[in-house]
Amino acid sequence: MIRAEYLTVADWDVALRDTARMAREASGADEALVAIFQPAQGRWTAVTSGGESLADKEISLVASLSVLESVLESGEPIRAAAGSPVLSRSLSASRNLLSSVVAVPLRFSVAESRSDVRVGGCLYADRRNGEPFTEEDAENLLDIARLTERTLNALAHLRLVQRLLAEAEQRRRHHREEEVVAREVDGEPARDPAFLAEVVEPLRRAAKTGGLGVLLLGPTGSGKSHLARLFHEWSPRRDRPFVVFDCGQVTSAEAIGAELFGYAKKSGFSAPVEGRPGRARLADGGTLFIDEVATLPLELQQRLLRLLQTGRFSPLGSGVDEAVDIQIVAAANQDLQPLIRNGSFREDLYWRLAELEVHVPPLSSRPLDIAPFARRFLKDASTRLHRASIEGFTPEALAALETHDWSRSGNVRGLEHAVRRSVLLAPADRTLLDVIDLVIGRGLPQGSSPPPPPAPDALASLLMARIAEHRGVLARVAEDADVARALGYPGPPVPASTLLLRIRACGIEEALERSRRADELDVSVLVEAVRRTGSGTAAAEHLGITRDSLAWTLRRSGLSIRKVLQGNLP
């Protein structure tokens, strides 16, 4: 039966499976499936009665694709036996030795107008031997189709709403980056001819070709996420989702797996009832940008490789495969070859990701772009901070920006922050900005340099002390001023992915894990934070961890966020 519990987005494939199973049992078929046509991609997807998800080319291995096409085109049921014109011209029917098929249309309302109902799928059953399907069998399938259409339509609209919300969130989050990218490539401030020839044009050609694995290598803040977004906009997938996942911002393998692949209902990862789709599912039909891929745990690299090779994955806690059609763009702030040699990154995954490898240069190697970038950032900051009286830079301030080593100060992102801070610090009556030296030097005397980085042993000792002090919460360690200076940054925060790589390089990752485990054991801290803030999200932000990590730790102690808020404690 089709149950009310299906009305969650995570249960789309389960509802399709149960519909196909009902059709198989009602008709006595050898196989049954529900096939859905994706008009935007011009392809079919299907779920069999056994729960197997099939992509377009795989459907013909188990069913008659021409029968599905006929039902889609005519909108009418089809019942045919061996020797009939329908099966005689079906290569897949001959290959699969089908003796009889029956298929009925599934109708879906169009997203823009629920009154506009069109055929969007097919409920299909076949037999390899035995008696042909009867008119009664066809009527039974029609009854099942009518019964399930309401539920499937509701799920389809929920999926659409979820996709639109995800796209809106991505647009909001990357609004600033998109502005930078558009101007960097299509006009001011992109002036460096080598950058255009060696970075922009290869990406533009690859985007139009489609299907290539793209790996962007470059220092933190050099604009890799901007270029990934631009790659998506150039591609035929531009009207589909662009989804970002930063491996460096999630600190445990379990949380990374859940964020990337999602988790099933009652999987034990989060709340006991709710499941959640991962970034791979949200990016279906579009582009998935995986940032800081070098930090991806080895146990998850095989799952990512399978996704790249087959377009299939299974959510955490689920044995059911899901099929997606996505373009993957990855980025890292270091060369992956040393990681391959020491066994921490799979070579076969690298070759899948890096069919096109693009090296994004730091801002300091593109001096022609610094002044245009700075002017654009000044215009944006003066508008946002209501300092419209500031119209430009003094010659000295502009020279300071052009000669500064941005490779140690965040590259493009660091330049934007420096300009914004300068606008904040400028006197009220100032029309030309001249406080750049104070900002980018953090008050250092003119001509002086930041102190040299500490020796490796000293750095390891400092990091171990701060890890213990902050109880293994990476985000808090990244906010530590001493850590930022030791790693060559003018001030916090240090990018979490960079910090994690330096911790690994110092050989103290075990200390980080010990601190995390010790912190996880102190469940009372989590419970008190949830009680005080009144929500799991606010508590996680207060503690400097992700909501998933908080929920996972509570679950391991037999608790949940809901139980804590309701006071249902053992």
pLDDT over threshold 70, residue 395: yes
pLDDT over threshold 90, residue 194: no
Tokens, residue 106: 């599934």
* Residue 445: band (very low, low, confident or very high) from pLDDT cuts 50, 70, 90: very low
pLDDT over threshold 80, residue 429: no
Parallel, antiparallel or unpaired: strands 113-127 and 31-38: antiparallel
| CATH code of domain 368-441 | 1.10.8.60
**Arithmetic mean of pLDDT, 511-525:** 60
**Arithmetic mean of pLDDT, 39-61:** 81
Lowest mean pLDDT among 61-75, 178-192, 373-387, 482-496: 178-192
Could you give the maximum distance between any two Cα atoms of the chain, in Å?
A: 92
CA neighbor of 407 nearest in space, from 450, 444, 371, 361: 361
Q: What percent of the chain has pLDDT over 70?
A: 74
Lowest mean pLDDT among 16-20, 113-117, 217-221, 548-552: 113-117
Helix (H, G, I), strand (E, B) or coil at 192: coil
CATH 3.40.50.300 fits 174-359, yes or no: yes
According to the 3-state scheme, what is the secondary structure of 473-493? CHHHHHCCHHHHHHCCCCCCC
pLDDT over threshold 60, residue 111: no
Burial class (CB in 10 A: 0-12, 13-18, 19+), 112: exposed
| Mean pLDDT comparison of 182-186, 467-471, 483-487, highest-scoring range | 483-487
| CB neighbourhood size of 74 (10 A) | 11
Write down the pLDDT at residue 266: 52
pLDDT over threshold 70, residue 35: yes
**Arithmetic mean of pLDDT, 43-52:** 85
pLDDT over threshold 50, residue 176: no
Parallel, antiparallel or unpaired: strands 392-393 and 432-433: parallel
Tens of pLDDT, residues 218-276 = 888 777 888 898 899 888 888 888 999 888 776 677 778 888 888 766 544 444 345 67
Tokens, residue 564: 């804590």
* Residue 216: band (very low, low, confident or very high) from pLDDT cuts 50, 70, 90: very high
Q: Could you give the CA distance from residue 312 to residue 13 in angstroms, rounded to a whole number?
A: 13
Write down the pLDDT at residue 410: 67
Domain edges within the chain: 4-161, 174-359, 368-441, 456-509, 522-566
* Residue 2: band (very low, low, confident or very high) from pLDDT cuts 50, 70, 90: very low
CATH 3.30.450.40 fits 4-161, yes or no: yes
**Arithmetic mean of pLDDT, 114-141:** 82
Q: Could you give the CA distance from residue 294 to residue 411 in angstroms, rounded to a whole number?
A: 20
553 or 450, which is more confident: 553
Q: What percent of the chain has pLDDT over 90?
A: 6
CA neighbor of 251 nearest in space, from 465, 10, 492, 504: 504
* Residue 448: band (very low, low, confident or very high) from pLDDT cuts 50, 70, 90: very low
Write down the pLDDT at residue 331: 92
Write down the pLDDT at residue 321: 80
pLDDT over threshold 60, residue 454: no
Q: Could you give the CA distance from residue 310 to residue 211 in angstroms, rounded to a whole number?
A: 13
Write down the pLDDT at residue 46: 87
pLDDT over threshold 60, residue 555: yes
Half-sphere exposure (Cβ direction) of 133: Cα atoms closer than 13 Å: 35
Write down the pLDDT at residue 268: 47
255 or 47, which is more confident: 47
Write down the pLDDT at residue 444: 38
Give me the phi and psi of 213, to 5 degrees please. -75, 130
245, β-bridge pairs: 290
| Mean pLDDT comparison of 109-113, 445-449, 517-521, 547-551, highest-scoring range | 547-551
Write down the pLDDT at residue 472: 66
Tokens, residue 244: 């970002």
Average pLDDT taken over every residue of the chain: 76
392, β-bridge pairs: 432
Tens of pLDDT, residues 334-343 = 888 988 998 8
**Arithmetic mean of pLDDT, 22-37:** 88
Q: Could you give the CA distance from residue 282 to residue 259 in angstroms, rounded to a whole number?
A: 11
pLDDT over threshold 60, residue 328: yes
Q: Could you give the CA distance from residue 177 to residue 450 in angstroms, rounded to a whole number?
A: 29
pTM higher than the cut 0.85: no
pLDDT over threshold 70, residue 433: no
**Arithmetic mean of pLDDT, 488-504:** 69
* Residue 451: band (very low, low, confident or very high) from pLDDT cuts 50, 70, 90: very low
